[in-house]
Amino acid sequence: MARSRKKTEVIAFRGSGKRYSILVSVYGRPPSGGVTDKIITGQLGYFINLQKLFYGGWDLIKIYNLSSNTYICTHNNTTAMNYFSSDFKLGILGGGQLGKMLLADTRKFDIQTYVLDPSAEAPSRIACNKFFQGSLMDFDTVYNFGKQVDVLTFEIELVNLDALEKLEAEGVKVYPSPATLRGIQNKGRQKAFYKDNHIPTSNFRLFENLKTLVLHCLEGKIPLPFVWKSTEFGYDGNGVKVVRSVVDLENLPDVECIAEDMVPFKNELAVIVVRNPKGDIKTYPVVEMEFHPEANQVEYVICPARIDDAVAQKARAIALEVSEKFNHVGLLAVEMFQTQDDEILVNEVAPRPHNSGHYSIEASYTSQFENHLRAILDLPLGNTDSKVAGIMVNLVGAEGFSGDVVYENIEKILAIDGVTPHIYGKRETRPFRKMGHVTIVDEDIAKARKIAEEVKNLIRVVSQK
């Protein structure tokens, strides 16, 4: 927290309405408005004093970064919330499958939820307490939605950040924080963050539009192949393309983008980190993505990854560092490459529940969804260890099928021990759309892997004839 001293201001408020008491304002900048109780300026021993602040009974503590003009941390101590079977409201931006799985745990704890999603048929609709249909990118829609809840979270990164910032400044707890999301939402900024913080990542170059990238490519300034990524609005593989020759750039959208060095990795790994506002932090075990040898598509997410202990420890340590440097609250999925010489490079992060953690519903002591909830509500974090080995197979829409979905052979996979399908509740399938997943658990990872292959060969997501 707040390591870059000269750039940080700490403000603690007590009181309500327009009258505040201010305990600390580092570097002598009293916040505008309100009544000043006491101002201490100068260098604080950050860690000691911040800890004291957090537990010192102050109502609201804000840490403001003077360089980026953003709040890097807001901590509201006002009342110990009664979340359970009460009027407390958790707002969730996005009502897709991730939200739906999170809602299984809000139901378990009897926590009230409001959900906003653009689709009237969003999967979360059936499980929340109140559903709102509207755009996640529209300032007013997000702001008005957020005003009705006590804590706000999101299950997709493509949300209106300005609205989140305003809500946070007005006292709504937003986790993960808008400042963290701002550092992640734009992939150019995210990569720059890794470089600035000495987190190992592949080299990249930022281009303001496609034309500039094409010019650089034609002049031979970018070694081929490379990975093109649009800096904004990509998800589930959209906005990413491997470029092997200039021709591959032809049909790409004319947007700000990055060109990343291609990493000839041995393994693609992921670590999910969970962190609460107090700073308690835990990681899930390292998972491994196994790719289809020809199609180059992830086929299985395997937990634990079948890698050396030393590599796993390194991956977990790097993931912890990334979460801490982002000052992240909630779940952070850190996707990484294990290089040929066993180095770990961070590929990208997702500040939300993640596909690579779905296995945890059946295989872990505490699922990623329950731990997200515990983290954003500042509750003790649950055990992230696994009870058994878990393998996850994504159910994506088969190529050539669009329309009302049918899960072919689902009864056959249900007949196998340790197999649990999750159906997301999207009525319409489209090629490669994420429609569900299947988890396979077993004491023996090799046996689970065999069953996973059987499942993969049996089930198909198609449309009605």
Q: Which parts of this chain interact with ligand AIR (CB under 6 A)?
A: 94, 96-99, 155-156, 235-236, 426, 433-434
Instruction: Report the residue number, 39 or 156, with the smaller CB distance to ligand AIR.
Output: 156
The Cα 116–Cα 94 span in angstroms is 6
* Residues near 286 by beta carbon (within 8 Å), at least 6 away in sequence: 269, 270, 271, 303, 304, 305, 307, 311, 312, 315, 316
* Residues near 96 by beta carbon (within 8 Å), at least 6 away in sequence: 117, 122, 123, 124, 155, 156, 424
Residue 369 CB, nearest distance to ligand AIR (Å)? 11
Residue 288 CB, nearest distance to ligand AIR (Å)? 19
Residue type, 454: E
* Residues near 300 by beta carbon (within 8 Å), at least 6 away in sequence: 289, 290, 391, 392, 393, 449, 452, 456
Q: Nearest CA to 372 among 81, 119, 161, 92? A: 92
The Cα 243–Cα 232 span in angstroms is 18
Instruction: Report the residue number, 191 or 426, with the smaller CB distance to ligand AIR.
Output: 426
Instruction: Report the residue number, 155 or 335, with the smaller CB distance to ligand AIR.
Output: 155
Instruction: Report the residue number, 345 or 396, with the smaller CB distance to ligand AIR.
Output: 396
Instruction: Report the residue number, 74 or 97, with the smaller CB distance to ligand AIR.
Output: 97
Residue 355 CB, nearest distance to ligand AIR (Å)? 7
How far are the Cα atoms of 45, 165, 325, 420 from residue 356, in angstroms, in the given order? Answer: 39, 29, 22, 16
Residue 97 CB, nearest distance to ligand AIR (Å)? 5
Instruction: Report the residue number, 119 or 313, with the smaller CB distance to ligand AIR.
Output: 119
Distance of CA 62 to the CA centre of its chain: 23
Residue 414 CB, nearest distance to ligand AIR (Å)? 24
Residue 12 CB, nearest distance to ligand AIR (Å)? 35
**Contact, 306 vs 445, CB < 8 A?**
yes
Distance of CA 372 to the CA centre of its chain: 10
Instruction: Using CB positions, name the residue nearest to ligand AIR.
Output: 96
Instruction: Report the residue number, 75 or 437, with the smaller CB distance to ligand AIR.
Output: 437
Residue 43 CB, nearest distance to ligand AIR (Å)? 41
Tell me the DSSP string of 412-464: HHHTSTTEEEEE---SEE-TT-EEEEEEEEESSHHHHHHHHHHHHHH-EEEE-
**Contact, 462 vs 400, CB < 8 A?**
no
Instruction: Report the residue number, 71 or 175, with the smaller CB distance to ligand AIR.
Output: 175
Residue 262 CB, nearest distance to ligand AIR (Å)? 23
